[in-house]
């Protein structure tokens, strides 16, 4: 946000189920249609009819779907380590379909074991030692996830994946920049390459050497430079500001 605020109005959103946004418990409240509509409502509430949209992981999935359903509202699409929704497949998705048990496993020892491993383990954590989350960062995540209903809200994104993704069988018509950490432990690099099959506009894929799934933490300067280059190409800031 600090990097791009000089030339853009930059807004970061706590999607439903995260941070201080609403935490509905019903999994039906997290349908991808509802999550995409949330983004549309936010953009319009802020007084815009289109935007440059940036998303990572689940945010990336919602960004892909938003660009599919509302192509006229996306000037440029930037996605970090999240494949086109038609390519989503992962064994851990099935585990999260179970009721209550995933919440129990994640909440053991006040959430600390699972969450700390997610961000710091050698296989799934942030790749560069100098970029690791501080104790204060981790405590902030622990606090947010420990609020009543917060963990269920986060897991409900997974619980809707199989019912909602058939809606994604369409192409993206916006220019797309896909940034991918070479050492992503969650998604294979071949999935990034395959995304070009679903783009009907300019598509640029940048594989960032040595970066993990958390590439914006691993290589923030490289990520920012690549985004700046993409934003300044072709359709630029003038069309965004309209």
Whether 84 is catalytic is no
> pLDDT tens-digit profile of 8-27?
999 999 999 988 899 988 88
Domain range holding 144? Answer: 27-241
Query: 17 lies in a domain?
Result: no
Q: What is the mean pLDDT of the chain?
A: 84
Query: 99 lies in a domain?
Result: yes
| Residue 34 belongs to domain with CATH number | 3.40.50.1820
Candidate ranges 55-69, 117-131, 150-164; pick with highest mean pLDDT: 55-69
195: confidence class by pLDDT, cuts 50, 70, 90: very high
Query: 20 lies in a domain?
Result: no
Query: 11 lies in a domain?
Result: no
Calpha distance 134→166 (Å, rounded) = 39
The edge-to-edge listing of strands for the beta sheet with 74-80 is 51-56, 74-80, 176-181, 203-208
Query: 7 lies in a domain?
Result: no
Query: 49 lies in a domain?
Result: yes
Find the catalytic residue in 157, 158, 184, 198: 158
Calpha distance 94→159 (Å, rounded) = 8
> Is pLDDT at 58 greater than 80 in this prediction?
yes
Find the catalytic residue in 48, 57, 141, 240: 57
Query: 183 lies in a domain?
Result: yes
pTM of the model: 0.87
> Is pLDDT at 202 greater than 60 in this prediction?
yes
Whether 137 is catalytic is no
Query: 87 lies in a domain?
Result: yes
Whether 69 is catalytic is no
> Is pLDDT at 114 greater than 80 in this prediction?
no
Total domains in the chain come to: 1
> Is pLDDT at 45 greater than 80 in this prediction?
yes
Find the catalytic residue in 56, 69, 84, 213: 213
């Amino acid at each position: 946000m600090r990097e791009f605020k000089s030339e853009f109005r930059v807004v970061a959103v706590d999607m439903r189920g995260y941070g201080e946004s609403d935490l509905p418990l019903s999994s039906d409240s997290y349908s991808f249609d509802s999550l995409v509509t949330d983004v549309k409502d936010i953009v319009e509430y802020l007084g815009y009819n289109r935007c440059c949209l940036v998303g990572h992981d689940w945010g990336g999935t919602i960004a892909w779907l938003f660009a599919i359903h509302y192509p006229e509202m996306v000037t440029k699409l930037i996605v970090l380590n999240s494949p086109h929704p038609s390519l989503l497949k992962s064994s851990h998705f099935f585990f999260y379909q179970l009721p209550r048990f995933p919440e129990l496993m994640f909440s053991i020892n006040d959430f600390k074991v699972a969450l700390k491993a997610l961000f710091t383990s050698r296989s799934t954590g942030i790749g560069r030692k100098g970029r690791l989350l501080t104790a204060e960062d981790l405590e902030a995540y622990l606090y947010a996830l420990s609020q009543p209903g917060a963990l269920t809200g986060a897991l409900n994104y997974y619980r809707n994946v199989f019912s909602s993704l058939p809606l994604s069988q369409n192409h993206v018509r916006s220019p797309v920049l896909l940034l991918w950490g070479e050492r992503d432990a969650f998604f294979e690099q071949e999935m990034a390459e395959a995304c070009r099959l679903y783009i009907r506009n300019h598509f640029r894929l940048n594989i960032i050497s040595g970066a993990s799934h958390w590439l914006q933490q691993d290589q923030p300067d490289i990520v920012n430079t690549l985004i700046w280059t993409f934003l300044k190409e072709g359709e630029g800031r003038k069309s965004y500001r309209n």
